[in-house]
Every structure is written in structure tokens, then in C-alpha cells.
Amino acid sequence: MKCVIVSGGTPPSKPDFSKYQKGAELLIAVDGAADWLCRIGAVPDHIIGDMDTADAASLLRLESLGASVTRLPREKNETDTEAAVNLAIKLNADDIVILGATGKRLDHTMGNLAMLVRTARAGIRCRIVDKYNEMWAAAGEHDMEGRIGQTVSIIPLTGDLHVTATNLEYPLRNLFLGVDSSRGISNIFQKTNAHLSISGGYALIVKIRG
């Protein structure tokens, strides 16, 4: 089941929201993202968060239109976005797109990137998409698609890695990528598909959308 989560960072564009919402069976709003969805006339299936940024009128309207609202305590051990990811997993989502997961709060962005590892470990496809990037976590044998000439970066996420890659401009042959190095940034698709072999942990794959 495909799920779209709209988090409380920089909102997606309406075209991006429509693109990724197409075919989704589940829409979850994180706290103040409910306001944005209300403004564009979209009704989420669930709204979850401590509601410190959501407008009460938006919540009432969306709830009246069928949205389920889960109010969390402000003092808790996870972010609202993590709670949304946990809810998506509980509801059997196996393909998750998180929009609005980046923005002014780098700490929240880093926490959201951690959700890519959590879902990958659970065997769930999960991507964070913003205006400029599409991001996901990968380990082991991994196929990915892109446009010829498109930039892609492979960044250690959970520790030092060794990476082998095919069909990228800069060859990676069991290349050591350390967490204290920028070596894996800015490779380029030579074909529309590439294969990665990643050992040692999870890599953050960042595909530049432009």
C-alpha cells in the first residue's frame, strides 16, 4: 500500500503533491501540515502530532470531513514525523513518500533521514522528496533509475561503507566511503539504470531532481 506523509517542513508544490499522491491509498498529515492540506482542499486520512503548529480551525474542518486526528503529548521520545512513519507501518504501508521533510530545521531533517533507515530495515520502500532532491536509504544489492546526465550522490549513513557501482560516470569498484569524507558526492548516471553493491551498512542515496 502506498502512503504519502506530508510533514511540517517546507511544503511541496501542488504539482509535486499531486504527482506523488496519485495512486496512494493513505495520506497522513503531520501537525501543521494539516493547514497546508486544508488550504489546497485535500483531506488526509490521518492527522498526527502534538498540534503545536496546527490551526484549530483547520483541524476541526478536516476532522468534520473524515480525517482521524491523533493528538500526541508535547513531551515524548520521538518527533511527530517519526510517529507518522510508525503509523504508516502499523497500517501496512509498504511504499512511503515523505513530503515536507526538509526545511529550516536541520535537526528535524536529520531525524527524518533516520526514518529512511528505519523503513529500509523493515523492508519498506521509503523516499523523502523535496523541490531539489529525492532521497532514500540503500544497502546490499540495489538497482536505481535516473536520467542520463542526472547527478546522484552516495553518502554513508550508518557507518563506513564499501561500494561498487555500474553505469555511473565515476567508477566505484569496492570503493571505501568513510563517514568522515565527501567522496561519494556528485556522481552521474551514464545510462538510465545503475546497480550498487553496498557493504558495511546503509547509504543515503540522493538523486538531484533538476
CATH number of domain containing 194: 2.60.120.320
Cell readout for 109 is 531533517
pTM for the structure as a whole: 0.96
Q: 84, 101, 131 — which closes off a domain?
A: 131
- Give residue 22's pLDDT band: very low, low, confident or very high (50, 70, 90): very high
Quick one: 162 and 74 in the same domain? no
Domain count, the chain: 2
Q: Indicate whether 58 pLDDT > 90.
A: yes
Question: Which of 131, 165, 190 is where one domain is finished?
Answer: 131
What percent of the chain has pLDDT above 90?
A: 99
142 and 84 share a domain? no
CA 145/CA 135 separation, integer angstroms: 13
- Say yes or no to pLDDT of 181 above 90: yes
Same domain, 59 and 145: no
- Give 69's strand partners: 47
Q: Which three cell numbers stand for residue 126?
A: 521509503
Q: Smallest Cα–Cα separation from 105: which of 39, 7, 174, 36?
A: 7
Residues with Cβ within 8 Å of 147's Cβ and at least 6 positions away in sequence, in order, are: 189, 192
pLDDT cut 70: percent of the chain above it: 100
Domain end residue (candidates: 131, 158, 179): 131
Query: Average of pLDDT values for 132-150?
Result: 98
- The number of beta carbons lying within 10 Å of the beta carbon of residue 178 is 12
Evaluate if residue 124 carries a pLDDT over 90. Answer: yes
Mean pLDDT of all residues in 95-117: 97
Pairing assessment for the beta strands 133-145 and 193-208 based on DSSP bridges? antiparallel
Mean pLDDT value across residues 158-168: 97
Q: Give the residue numbers spanning the domain of 38.
A: 2-131
Assess whether pLDDT exceeds 90 at residue 171.
no
pLDDT confidence tier of residue 183, bands split at 50, 70 and 90: very high
pLDDT in tens, 66-105: 999 999 999 999 999 999 999 999 999 999 999 999 999 9
Structure-block grid coordinates of residue 12: 511541496
At 210 the pLDDT is 81
Residue 57 belongs to domain with CATH number:
3.40.50.10240
pLDDT above 90: residue 118: yes
